Amino acid sequence: MDKIYLDNAATTPLSAEVIDAMVDVMKVNYGNPSSTHSFGQEAKILIENVRRSVADYLKVSPSEIIFTSCGTESNNMIIKSCVEHLNIERIITSPLEHKCVAETVLDMKKRRGVEVVYLRPNPEGDIDLDKLEEALKSSDKKTLVTLMHANNEVGNILDIKKTALICKEHGALFHSDTVQTMAHMELDFADIPVDFASCSAHKFHGPKGSGFAFVRKSSGLKALITGGPQERSLRAGTENVCGIVGLGKALELSILHMTEYSGHIKSIKKYCVERLTEEISGVKFNGRSAGEESLYTVLNVLLPFKDPMIGLKLDMRGIAISQGSACSSGAAKPSMVLMMLLNEDELENSTPLRVSFSHLTTKNEIDALVTALKEIAKDFTIENTNSAYRQ
Ligand code: PLP
């Protein structure tokens, strides 16, 4: 059975070119980049070349790119350092953030007494920027705004430039978790006055354990991990040379093929929406995920029957997909994001599924998903249960 991978927002397969580039580094460039001899300096040059490529992509200075181990570390470093080193007393955020932001913000509330203000999204999952402006006007406390660029579950996209301009106008710092958009779309930080952003290589066919934080030079952020001068003293520890080179190669390929890949993925997503709508009566799509304005890699589906085992059933048919829920104590519990966006009836009687695509996804794979879902849906039809979508 050929397996089908439709969980690309969780992680993506490594590109062959990325593997080759990393293997070369592992075999040849094993020097410590902090060493002054030629082995060290060759490794250092590799890192600095990637830093320059990342900076060119974002239209920023290479000194504003700090390599880290992942998106989670980048977001932790930015938020915690803002509180510890920049005297942030208030954080404005939303209940839709990834856990690595949400829990870090809560940690800052508990341990550092930071005030936290949540901007509630509308039922489509959008953040009202007028409410952000009101919240900014309502207090003189030194504020950090942290709002993700694209939501990893429902794909809603924030107007990052407008948000950055509002924050700047009101003297607040602005961090955006850009993990789902980096390398998937153009990002011009010369034009968008965001202070901090984050990236994770494994979301665009690069390796796990490699990411970076964008830290605007003027911000004054300091290191969270100390003990060495690496990364301009903003992140101590011997660099993951192989991972950084893998990130660089994956970014290079993403930029080179961005138009082609995004065009293909958008057509696959449109096809998926059409096929599901045709074949599964009563299907809905969560947030703005079915619309053209959303993140093109993510589609969040709401199936009109309750099946907590759906992820397992699809997996048994060779289809890997995220259920959009976290299982606790054997009971499928909807994620925080879906709890915010779905009504009680939807939460009680339907099943969310996050389908996420890459340039490798084919229409045949979508057909196989639709066939599998139709088979599963049969168990919940009126004839089979005498009560439609009862379970
Ligand atoms: N932020 C968002 C929006 C994500 O989707 C993820 C990963 O799922 C992360 C942060 C965490 O990234 P990493 O897996 O590199 O720690």
Confidence class of residue 385 from pLDDT cuts 50, 70 and 90? very low
Q: Which of 76, 99, 152 to mutate to test the pocket of ligand 1 (most atoms within 8 A of CB)?
A: 152
Q: Can you name the residues that pair with 355 across neighbouring β-strands?
A: 299
For all residues of the chain together, what is the average pLDDT?
94
Question: For the segment 15-46, what is each residue's pLDDT rounded down to a tens digit?
Answer: 999 999 999 999 999 999 999 999 999 999 99
CB atoms within 10 A of CB 92: 24
pLDDT of residue 2: 87
Expressed in angstroms and rounded, the spacing between residue 96 Cα and the centre of ligand 1 is 13
Q: Is 180 near ligand 1, meaning CB less than 6 Å away?
A: yes
Question: What single-letter DSSP state applies at residue 197?
Answer: E
Whether 95 contacts 120, CB under 8 Å: yes
Q: Is 177 near ligand 1, meaning CB less than 6 Å away?
A: yes
Q: Is 152 near ligand 1, meaning CB less than 6 Å away?
A: yes
Which amino acid belongs to residue 385? T
H-helix or E-strand containing 213?
strand 211-215
Expressed in angstroms and rounded, the spacing between residue 72 Cα and the centre of ligand 1 is 6
* Mean pLDDT, residues 239-246: 98
Expressed in angstroms and rounded, the spacing between residue 307 Cα and the centre of ligand 1 is 27
pLDDT of residue 327: 42
Q: Is 119 near ligand 1, meaning CB less than 6 Å away?
A: no
Q: Which of 200, 240, 337, 356 to mutate to test the pocket of ligand 1 (most atoms within 8 A of CB)?
A: 200
- Angstrom distance (rounded) from CA 145 to CA 174: 5
Residue with tokens 């085992």: 309
Orientation of helix 38-58 relative to helix 241-256, angle to 10°? 30
Question: For the segment 249-262, what is each residue's pLDDT rounded down to a tens digit?
Answer: 999 999 999 999 99
Closest CA to 335 of 1, 4, 2, 10: 10
Q: Is 70 near ligand 1, meaning CB less than 6 Å away?
A: yes
Q: Is 297 near ligand 1, meaning CB less than 6 Å away?
A: no
Question: For the segment 262-287, what is each residue's pLDDT rounded down to a tens digit?
Answer: 999 999 999 999 999 999 999 999 99
- Angstrom distance (rounded) from CA 68 to CA 197: 12
- Angstrom distance (rounded) from CA 17 to CA 20: 5
Confidence class of residue 333 from pLDDT cuts 50, 70 and 90? confident
Question: What single-letter DSSP state applies at residue 220?
Answer: -
pLDDT of residue 336: 87
- pTM for this model (two decimals): 0.95
Question: For the segment 57-105, what is each residue's pLDDT rounded down to a tens digit?
Answer: 999 999 999 999 999 999 999 999 999 999 999 999 999 999 999 999 9
- 327 flagged as catalytic: yes
pLDDT of residue 329: 42
pLDDT of residue 44: 98
Q: Which atom of ligand 1 is found nearest the CA of 100?
A: 10
* Mean pLDDT, residues 109-134: 96
Detail the DSSP E strand segments found in 18-163.
65-68, 90-93, 115-118, 143-146
Q: Which atom of ligand 1 is found nearest the CA of 151?
A: 3
What sections of 67-120 are H helices per DSSP? 71-86, 99-112
- Angstrom distance (rounded) from CA 279 to CA 269: 15
Q: Is 200 near ligand 1, meaning CB less than 6 Å away?
A: yes
SS3 211: strand
Residue with tokens 């879906």: 338
Q: Which atom of ligand 1 is found nearest the CA of 72?
A: 16
Closest CA to 155 of 184, 186, 198: 184
pLDDT at 192 over 80: yes
Whether 107 contacts 133, CB under 8 Å: no
Expressed in angstroms and rounded, the spacing between residue 1 Cα and the centre of ligand 1 is 30
Domains delineated in the chain = 4-12+258-390 (3.90.1150.10), 16-256 (3.40.640.10)
